[in-house]
Structure formats: C-alpha cells, structure tokens
Amino acid sequence: MSDHTTGLIDAEPDFNTWAFWSTASAEQQQAQRARLHALADGGAHLGENCVVSEWAACYPDSLTLGDRSYLAAFSYVTGDIEIGANSTVNAYAVVRGTIRIGDGVRIGAHTALLGFDHTFAPDRPVHEQPVTSTGISIGDDVYIGSHVSVVDGVTIGAHSVIGAGSVVTKDVPEWSIVVGNPARRIRDRRDRSDRSDRTDSRDGSSSPSDALAQLADRAREDASTLLARCWDETDGTFSNTPGADPTVRALCDAVELADLLGLGVPEQIGREEIVETLTRSQDPATGLIPQLRSTIGQAATEPTAADLGGGPIRYHLLCAGYALDLLGERFTHPIRVVDELRGDAMIAALEQQPWSERAWGAGDWVDSVGTALLWNRAWFGLAGPLETLIGWLHLNVDRSSGMWGSPQPSDGLRQPVNGFYRLTRGTFAQFGLPLPQPERTIDTVLAHTRDDRRFAPGRATACDVLDIAHPLWLAGHQTNHRRSEVRAWAAAQIPRLVSAWRPGAGFGFAQRADARGDATPSLQGTEMWLAIAWYLADLLGESGALGYEPRGVHRPWAR
C-alpha cells in the first residue's frame, strides 16, 4: 500500500462524528474547539461536546446545536437551523431553510431537508422567481434513512422512522414507519405483533397477509383495465359501472384508484381536465358541488344547514375534495354554507339530525360538515366552528355504547355503528383527535359483527364491513381492549374479500356471487374494498405487505 498523503485519510472522526471526542487526535480536537468558538462568536448557540466537522459547509443565518449533536463531513447547512441534543446530521446530508429538529434524531447520509422552495409561475423565468419558506419540523427520536428528501412545509412526528430513499411530501404522524415515493405510512412503530398472530394455515394455504399481498398485486396488474371499463367516451368522464350515468363520485373514485395502484392519474383523462371538471360547477355562494348533469342553480337551491343540499352533494365535499388534494389542487371557493354554522346555528343543525331513527344519516351530515371545515381551514384559512362541533359530540355521546344514535328493531346496531364510522371519519379521525369512549366503542362494534342479517356469508357490503373495520382500527389506537378478538374478526374477513375479486373488473359493492345489481364490479366497490383490505391488514399488523395505503376519503391518518 502506498504511503498516505494528507487529506481525507485523516478525516475519519469527521465522518464518524459520534466517536469524534474519543477517536480524534489532540490536534483535531483542538481545531474543533477553535471552530466551535468561531461559530459561537458568530452568534451560534452550541451545547456541550458538539462537533461541526471542518469539512462541513456550515453557513447558517442562525444555528442552535444541542449537547452531543454533530454535523458530519460534507454536510451542507444553511438558513435558520435549530437542532436538539444527541442528534446527528450525517455525511453529505443537506439541511437548508427553516429547520427545527428535536432530540435524538438521526439523519442519514445524502438526505436532504429542504425547508424552502422556489415559486414557478409562468410570468417570469425560473431564475427570477422568489423563494418561499414554511419550514420543516422533526420531532424527538426520529430516524431518517439515507437518500431521503423532505420538502418544505412537512412536519415529521416524534418516534417515526423514514425509510431510505423516501420522498416525504406530507406530514407524518407520530410513531409512523413511512417508505416510498411519495412516502406512505406502512405501520405504527409500536406494533410488535409477531407472526404467530397471523393465523397461518397448516395445510399449505397462504397467511392472511400473503393473501392480501397477492390481491394487491392483482389489483395493480388490473388497474388500467378496470378503469378503462368504466370510462364513458360520450361524456368524457367515468361511470361507476359500464353504461351507468357519469358521476362526480365515479371520477373521484377513478382518481383515488389511479393513485392507490400506482398509475398516478387515470390514463383516459388529463390532470387539468379533472381539476376543471371538479371545480367549474362549484357554487360560489354555498361552496357545494352538484351532480355532473345538474346546473349550478339546481345544486344550490336553498340548501339548509340541516341538509347541505342532501344526497350525493354532501359526499362531493369528501370525494371531490380529496381527489383535488391528491392532485395538489383545491376547491375554488370556501364551503360557506358550513362556515356560517356558528354557535347556536351549529347546535341547532346538529339537533335537527335524525339521531334516534337514522343515525347513519346524521353521521353522514357530521362527516360532510367536518370535511368542509377541514378544507376551509387548510385551503382558505377559515377556522370555522370545529370546536363547537367536537364539543357537542363529546357532550352527547352515549357513554355506555360509545355511539351516537339508537339501535333499531329492523336492523339492530347497524344505524349507530355505521353512523359512528361516518361521524368519526370526518371529525376525530380526520383531525387526529381521541375518541371519547374507545373501549365501549369496541364492545358495541364487535356485538354488531354477530348480526347475521348483515354479515352471514354472501351478505356483506363494503359499507357494512368498512363501518366495522375503521372504528375498530381507530379505537384500537387508544386501547388494547379485546385486541385478540378484533384480530380474529379481521383475519376471518380476508378469505371472503380475496375471493370476491373479479379479474380485470375489481370488486362489486356487495359480496354476492351473482355479480348482479350492487354486486356488479364497480369503481366505488373497488375503491372501498381495497381500502378495507388495508384496514384489515393493519389490524393484523401487516399493512406493509400490500404496498399501498389509502390517501383519499378512506385515508387512515389525519390530514
């Protein structure tokens, strides 16, 4: 081996910065102290036993570095930077803009945290565009792998793990494990379920997670075909089933399926045309969106606070909003009819809902209101009466059942359980708030699963199964109550779900074998059952096997 020359051969402590103070030479340690003093003289706030490698390009506007935190060789650090204790920015990582990093954070080599952005409006060349900065926030105890990109505006919750090569474009909840481009949450880091819970068959048949993984692969293979069969050439949009009238929901289901199954956007229609279709008929006075073949006047015919236009128009607040969100767009106008529900008006509208006899309809109304409040906050800066809505729900929950509404002689617990899903989806789940009675919720939902009028073989619909899977999943994040029973129920649903797939067509809304009526494969059925598959897998701790996660109406995490 040739003689060593000066240069990086002596810089190992600057790359392995965690060991600097125990492995660096006396000369290197003295040089490091001088570097730290120079940074402090320039206004940096530095804790004990920090390291800022002499090979790091460290040119911040402001810098706070906690005790025992390090910037390794060839890291590039500029802007307004605050890093807690015991955190490491490894070699070749880029940390720029407005960045807040907690304690005990590991940032892998070649990772980029970009807490700024350039605008790109068409009125001037790119090099003349202004720079914007919202900033990036990373909680305590986070591990970010190598070659990760985190874009401006993202918050990564404490205790999360970001897989190598991920591109993080949206907020990450606490305790998440996320992977991919764009990054998607695959499971909760706290879930330590072992493989003995997977109820593997002893006769050689696949485990539930294997069966769902195979289903997901088939769905991806069939994605283009199942969308093409529901494309309406005459109207230039999608129908739920071949030959049916085109609807807003069908177009939105197509957008969600294309995103879920890796197509990006549907191949039959351009992104700009989708956005135009979903926004052009929004009524500026109310913010509501009519059916595709309705006029603005019909859609906005004096909607009352208690009905929000009724029927599918309510659901457009969900499906059109999330379809636009997936495309990086938004509504043109706020949903004013909901923003105006202030104080007594909100309470009066809540109390007009049919809680006693039709809790599902009442839950549908709350879901629509909650989602409208979300869009108004996120897109238009309107705080709205969210606190009034959530407060009323806390005060009016049945503390013995965890539900809102009453069971009915004709269908038992179906109304309150299904209403619970719709209600909590648009409020507690969508805003990341804890349920008021999670253990009682699980008791009631499990009792409903024993109703053979809905759940005997061949009778289940996507709504009925989702309205069990999501509440069990949501409540299960607050309690381990009856966890083994919940997992047993989830595992039992998987063979039925897998067998209901129709090659090249997807799922029908109902799980009947005759493929007629609501059992005909449809965009709605396919989108809902694929979301259900994710929830069933995640209840078993195996959602990562699917390779997808719902990001639209049926997304699991708060937006």
Q: Which residues are catalytic?
A: 118
Q: Are the C-beta atoms of 530 and 219 separated by less than 8 Å?
A: yes
Query: Which of these, 236, 338, 336, 255, lies nearest to 293 by C-alpha position?
Result: 236
**Residue type at 278?**
L
CA nearest to 496, candidates 531, 525, 455 = 455
Q: Which is nearest to 15 in space by CA: 64, 59, 58, 71?
A: 71
Gap between the Cα atoms of 163 and 186, Å rounded: 10
The torsion angles phi and psi of 409, rounded to 5 degrees, stand at -60, -35
Cis peptide bond prior to 407, omega within 30° of 0: no
Pull the structure tokens for residue 312: 């599918």
Q: What gap in Å lies between CA 250 and CA 231, rounded to an integer?
A: 9
| Burial of residue 273 (number of CB atoms within 10 Å: 0-12, 13-18, 19+) | middle
In 3D space, the residue among 181, 137, 185, 182 whose CA is nearest the CA of residue 161 turns out to be 185
- The residue assigned the tokens 């000369």 is 27
Q: First CA to last CA across the chain, in angstroms?
A: 57
**Which residues share a beta bridge with 136?**
99
Q: How far apart are CA 492 and CA 267, in angstroms?
A: 35
As a whole number of angstroms, the distance between CA 260 and CA 252 comes to: 12
Distance of CA 172 to the CA centre of its chain: 8
**Residue 359 half-sphere exposure toward CB, CA atoms < 13 A:** 24
The owner of tokens 């059916």 is: 291
What are the distances in angstroms from CA 230 to CA 137, 159, 254, 260? Answer: 42, 43, 9, 17
SS (H, E, C) 193-246: CCHHHHCCCCCCCCCHHHHHHHHHHHHHHHHHHHHHCCEECCCCEEECCCCCCE
135: left (phi over 0), alpha (psi -120 to 50) or beta: left
Report the SS3 class of residue 149: strand
- Cβ contact 21:97 at 8 Å: no
Point out which residues pair with 52 in neighbouring strands.
71
CA nearest to 547, candidates 339, 128, 262, 341: 262
**What are the two backbone dihedrals, phi and then psi, of residue 521, each rounded to the nearest 5 degrees?**
-55, 135
Length of the chain: 559
Q: How far, in Å, CA of 31 to CA of 88, rounded?
A: 20
Whole-number Å distance between alpha carbons of 508 and 529: 9
